Structure 1
């Protein structure tokens, strides 16, 4: 009898442990220092935040790196992923309209817009002719112009190929994120004359990056408390990753 009771206790303990093991769907793109899903290990500010939270609350996160389109599909149509990071209710709205999704408070606020070479600083969207972004992303500030044929939208699979499109003149600009672009250009010693810069005359916005879930809203409650309690740590972490630097030069 004691053996049976012991086995039952063991099974309950294992079930409890499994309940704290979660999968987090992340993008297979390089947005470092915010996050990077192209390296051997998922890394960056986002991972450090999630890891710190997991340790504090006794969770274990397995990061599932997927191409952006597949990540959306798996998150919205299967139970393979407990969480998605980053997420925002404005992204791919058609896919999420029938889902009940819980979003965390803001993990990071980005700056996304159209980045151009200095030679293109005075050109209109029509004169730029074409812009590009990462495959699976949605250059929504320019949707009207794209739909009207004023400008063409192209896609690239990697950060390197995306930036190359602009530097080689194949597109007039790229829709991208400021911190990731600045880091890449700084680490690769891009000459000043070849650096892409944000053109604030064009539509741009500051999207919030959230942690989201369809199945674990109680963990989001914990995470929001963590974001409040660890505000000082999060600021130090941003400083460590250079996410508190001065804005990109603009026109």
Structure 2
């Protein structure tokens, strides 16, 4: 059975339960599947499932094995994902990616008083273990910048406040949430002098490209809900820039 929009519905796809592989880290308010708590991504995916007659289970997987999830784990989908995080391999081309669910800003979060510091000021950066230091590869290779990584977002924010790192490569909404959870009165901002990029979170699959089509249709029809969800979780609404990678 096909919907009026030409997208298969859940009954036609013969798939009722979706297993989604997710990162085993706390990156709230975007996601934190280490505990059963509402988050932006869970609100969106759960709403899609409810609207289309699916049920969902989330399987937290090691971020350092991220590129292998869809090939070595018994999951149907991967979230978050993004085409630009993968090399252009034959296997990668077999994956189907959804449209952008929402956009985020990749930048370096610093103490407010350091937001205009020149690039030469930054000698040590905090980063979540397993994340790719896309904006700093040349400086790391030359030894100009050292990376202090940790699996705990909260620990990285502590390091920033205590001066153990000069900045943390993290989303500002995430940084502010964990700062508040620590009860620390401090102001944070993106560095004005360091590179920033706009990118998106996408859903990916090998098994069910038709459900990706269905999800894309749902995204297009639920823009008001998506925007309201960003507001609910106090996340800035970012817009894609011309020729930006998804």
TM-score normalised by length of structure 1:
0.81
Residue 84 of structure 1 and its aligned partner are, at CA, apart by 0.9
2:61 pairs, out of 47, 51, 66, with: 66
For 1:31 and 1:168, how far apart are their aligned partners in 2?
21
SS at match of 1:133: strand
What residue is the counterpart of 2:91 in the other structure? Answer: 98
Task: Give the one of 139, 155, 172 matched to 2:149.
Answer: 155
Alignment of 1:20-99 (within 5 A): 20-39=16-35, 41=36, 43-75=38-70, 77-91=71-85, 93-94=86-87, 98-99=91-92
Contact 2:157 2:179 in 1 (8 A): no
Q: Tell whether the 8 Å contact from 1:142 to 1:203 is kept in structure 2 after alignment.
A: no
Q: Which runs of 5+ in 2 are unaligned?
A: 1-11, 239-246
Change in Cα spacing, 1:121 to 1:178, as seen in structure 2 (3 Å) is closer
TM, length-normalised to structure 2: 0.83
Number of residue-to-residue matches in the alignment: 227
Superposed CA RMSD: 2.5
For 1:185 and 1:97, the matched residues in 2 are separated by: 42
| CA deviation after TM superposition for structure 1 residue 74, in Å | 2.4
1:242 to 226, 234, 246: 234
Q: Which is richer in helix?
A: 1
Report the 3-state secondary structure (helix = DSSP H, G, I; strand = E; otherwise coil) of the residue aligned with 1:224.
helix
Work out the CA distance in 1 between the residues paired with 2:119 and 2:126: 12
